[in-house]
Amino acid sequence: MKKYVLSALAATLLSASVSLVNAQQQEIPLSPSASKYRLELITRDVQIPWGMVWLNESELLVTNRAGDLRLVKDGKLIDEAIKGVPEVHAERQGGLLDVEIDPNYSENGWIYFSYSGYEGEGEGNNTSIMRARLKDMQLVDKQLLFHGYPNTDRVHHYGSRIEFDKQGYLYFSIGDRGQRDVHPQRLDHDPGKIHRIKADGSVPDSNPFVGRDDARPTIYSYGHRNPQGMAMHPVTGDIWTHEHGPRGGDEINIIKAGANYGWPEITYGINYNGTTITEETARDGMQQPEWYWVPSIAPSAMQFITSDKYPDWQGHLLVGSLKFAHVVLVELDGSKVVGHSKLFEGAGRIRSMATHPNGDLYIGTDGNGIYRVVPNT
C-alpha cells in the first residue's frame, strides 16, 4: 500500500511537472481579429501614462508616473501640467499612479488618485489615496483618504489600481512592497491587499474585518503580490483584478470579501533565479485564480469591452502586457475565462486603458505614446 501511494505521488508530481513545462512552452496565439483594428497616435509626450480616465467627451486625464498630471483636450495634449499634485516618491515602481472619477462626477467633480506618498508614520513611503477637484488646471479641495501602513523604503510593488463598484464603494490595490514574507498574510499590515472604502474615505461597516483588533478595517481581500489591473465586470458588478506573479504565475482573480488569494503560500510561479518559492499551488481556504500565465506576461491595465465598436471583443476582457509589448484578449464565457489571444504586437509596454463615453478604446504605452483603437477600413 505504501509503495502504491508513493508511486501514485510520483506519477502526480511527474504529471504536474510535465504540465508546467508544457505551459512554459506555450505561446499566446495571434487573435483572428488582430488585423481588423489599428492604433492611431494621440500623443507621445507622456512618458509613462500609468492611469487614464475620461472626465467628459472631450477631456482625458492622464497620470505620468514621474509625478505630473496631464490633460488631453479635444485630441491634443495641453502643454501645461496640472498644478497641485501631491508630492510623490517617483523612484522605480513608485510615483503618480492610477486615476478614477467619482460615479457622480458630473455632479460633484471628485477625482481620485493613487500614488506613492510620504504620509503616515515612519521612514519611507507607501500607497496613498487622495481625492480632489480640478479647477483652472489646478487640483483644489484636496482630501487624503488613505495611507498604507507601514511605511517602507522599498521601491517595489505599490499596486495600485482603483475602481468603483455599482454600490459606489472604492476599491484599490496595494502590492506586497517587495516583502512577501512580511505583509501579504498579515491582516494588521496594508500591503498585499485589496482595500475597500466609501467615496469619502470612511470604512464600510460591511467590510469583512471591521471590528477585529488584529486587522486593518479597510482590507477586503489579502494574499496578493502586486495587482496592477482592476475593473468592474459590467454585468455582475464583481471586481476583477490581475496581478504580477514572480517568474510565472501572473493571475486573474475575482475579488471576494475576506478571501485569501494565497501569496506567497501558494503560487504557480518561481523565484527569478529559478529556485522554488513553494511546492504548493493550491491549499484549502485559499482562492485559485480564474486564469494564470506561465511564463509571465507582466500584466498592467485591464478593460472590459462593452462597446459595439469592437464586435469581436464585445463581452471579453483586454489585459496589457508590459513584458511582451502587446494586448491580450482574454476570452470570456460570462464570468469564466475560456482562452486568450494577442493583439497589437510590438505596440510597446502596455500600461493603461480607458474607454471614451462614445465607446472608443484608448491605450497608453510606456514611451511609445497614447493611442486610440480604430477599425481598419
pLDDT at 13: 38
pTM for the full predicted model: 0.93
Alpha-carbon distance 372 to 370, whole Å? 7
Task: Give tens-digit pLDDT for 114-144.
Answer: 999 999 888 999 999 999 999 999 999 999 9
Task: Give tens-digit pLDDT for 141-199.
Answer: 999 999 999 999 999 999 999 999 999 999 999 999 999 999 999 999 999 999 999 99
Written as one string, the DSSP assignment of 307-363 is -TT-TTTTTSEEEEETTTTEEEEEEEETTEEEEEEEESTTS--EEEEEE-TTS-EEE
Residue ranges of the chain with per-residue pLDDT less than 70: 1-26
From residue 70, how far is each of 139, 319, 324, 356 by CA, in Å?
Answer: 12, 23, 27, 17
The single-letter DSSP state of residue 289 is P
| Stretch(es) of the chain classified as CATH 2.40.10 | 37-49+299-377
Per DSSP, the three-state class of 11 is helix
Percent of the chain at pLDDT exceeding 90: 92
pLDDT at 22: 35
Q: Are the beta carbons of 317 and 254 closer than 8 angstroms?
A: no
Q: How many CB atoms neighbour CB 277 within 10 A?
A: 19
Q: Which residue has the cell 489615496?
A: 129
| Stretch(es) of the chain classified as CATH 2.120.10.30 | 83-297
Cell of 362: 484608448
Among 89, 147, 157, 316, the one annotated catalytic:
157
By CB atoms closer than 10 A (0-12, 13-18, 19+), residue 279 is: exposed
pLDDT at 19: 38
Q: Are the beta carbons of 335 and 322 closer than 8 angstroms?
A: no
CATH topology of domain 83-297: Neuraminidase (2.120.10)
pLDDT at 33: 97
Domain 37-49+299-377, what architecture?
A: Beta Barrel (2.40)
Q: Are the beta carbons of 163 and 177 closer than 8 angstroms?
A: no
Active site residue 195: no
By CB atoms closer than 10 A (0-12, 13-18, 19+), residue 41 is: exposed
Closest CA to 242 of 173, 195, 196, 314: 173
